[in-house]
């Protein structure tokens, strides 16, 4: 009876999909904006989009992490074998860690590099971090390495989710999809 499985609570589902859609826009924006030979206006627009949406995401991810720490996820159906339970736990833990590392390393890279974040600048926040080339370079290297890992873990995550949705049809998909109660 897959449909009777207990699902994630609505806030967990909405937070998952809001963050997922944003991250799935942030990744291509980041990869494209760093290409050489891009027309300047396109590059500037992508950088502004990436830096500002990414900064807003710090708040949403903070809410999501606090929500997750205070609400246990529902148990997986019995049909999921132990190795897949472990794989899910490890990959979800990695995704949460990368969701924290990505925007913070991006923020530090930009601020320590002395660059603007238009939204924060308009709101009158100071830079919050002093200028430091070494710190900016370290944050940039972390941002790039974490992005690579995030893309790899997400490929497995999405493939596993689609397998549950389309092949096994065991209710794991609908426990996260916002449409199902
Ligand atoms: C098309 C893209 C995506 C699909 C189809 C998808 C699907 C799912 C599904 C079905 C679950 C529930 C798994 C379970 O019941 O154990 C889940 C959980 C999760 N997803 Fe995704 N996801 C997507 C994108 C993302 C992205 C972009 C991120 C973050 C970068 C993400 C992070 C997570 C995390 C951390 C969990 C564990 C939730 C928890 O237990 O608190 N997902 N996803
Ligand atoms: C979940 C949030 C984020 C994701 C998934 C993400 C993803 C990416 C990706 C895939 C790249 C291209 C790989 C690379 O060159 O590093 C990139 C580059 C970059 N990102 Fe992000 N990013 C996020 C948040 C942020 C934030 C909040 C900022 C700044 C406020 C930022 C600033 C940058 C910059 C400046 C680059 C160009 C590379 C560099 O100069 O170091 N990112 N990002």
| Interval 56-102: pLDDT, tens | 999 999 999 999 999 999 999 999 999 999 999 999 999 999 999 99
Establish whether residue 175 lines the binding site of ligand 1, counting it when its CB lies within 6 angstroms of any ligand atom.
Answer: yes
DSSP state of 129: S
pLDDT of 83 reads 97
pLDDT of 5 reads 73
pLDDT of 2 reads 47
pLDDT of 94 reads 98
pLDDT of 4 reads 61
* Separation CA 88–CA 53 (nearest Å): 28
- Ligand 2 site-directed mutation target among 49, 105, 106, most atoms within 8 Å of CB: 106
* Separation CA 143–CA 130 (nearest Å): 19
Going by C-beta distance under 8 Å and a sequence separation of 6 or more, which residues neighbour residue 60? 15, 18, 19, 22
pLDDT of 1 reads 42
Among 110, 102, 116, which residue's Cα sits nearest to residue 145?
Answer: 102
Establish whether residue 23 lines the binding site of ligand 2, counting it when its CB lies within 6 angstroms of any ligand atom.
Answer: yes
pLDDT of 55 reads 98
Residues lower than pLDDT 50 in the chain: 1-2, 181
CB 54 within 8 A of CB 99: no
What is 2-168's CATH topology? Fumarate Reductase Cytochrome B subunit (1.20.950)
Expressed in angstroms and rounded, the spacing between residue 175 Cα and the centre of ligand 1 is 11
Q: Considering only CA atoms, which residue is closest to atom 33 of ligand 2?
A: 106
Among 54, 55, 68, which residue's Cα sits nearest to residue 22?
Answer: 54
């Amino acid at each position: 009876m897959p449909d009777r499985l207990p699902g994630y609570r609505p806030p967990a589902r909405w937070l998952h999909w809001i963050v997922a859609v944003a991250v799935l826009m942030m990744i291509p924006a980041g990869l494209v904006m760093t290409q050489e030979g891009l027309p300047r206006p396109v590059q500037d627009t992508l950088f502004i989009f990436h830096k500002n949406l990414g900064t807003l995401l710090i708040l949403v991810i903070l809410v999501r992490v606090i929500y997750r720490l205070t609400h246990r996820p529902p148990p997986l159906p019995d049909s999921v074998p132990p190795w897949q339970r472990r794989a899910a736990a490890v990959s979800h833990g990695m995704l949460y860690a990368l969701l924290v590392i990505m925007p913070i390393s991006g923020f530090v890279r930009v601020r320590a590099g002395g660059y603007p974040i238009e939204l924060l600048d308009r709101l009158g926040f100071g830079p919050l971090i002093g200028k430091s080339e070494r710190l900016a370079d370290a944050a940039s290297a972390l941002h790039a390495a974490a992005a690579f890992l995030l893309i790899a873990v997400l490929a497995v995550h999405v493939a596993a989710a689609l397998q549950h949705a389309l092949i096994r049809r065991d209710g794991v998909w609908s426990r996260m999809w916002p449409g199902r109660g």
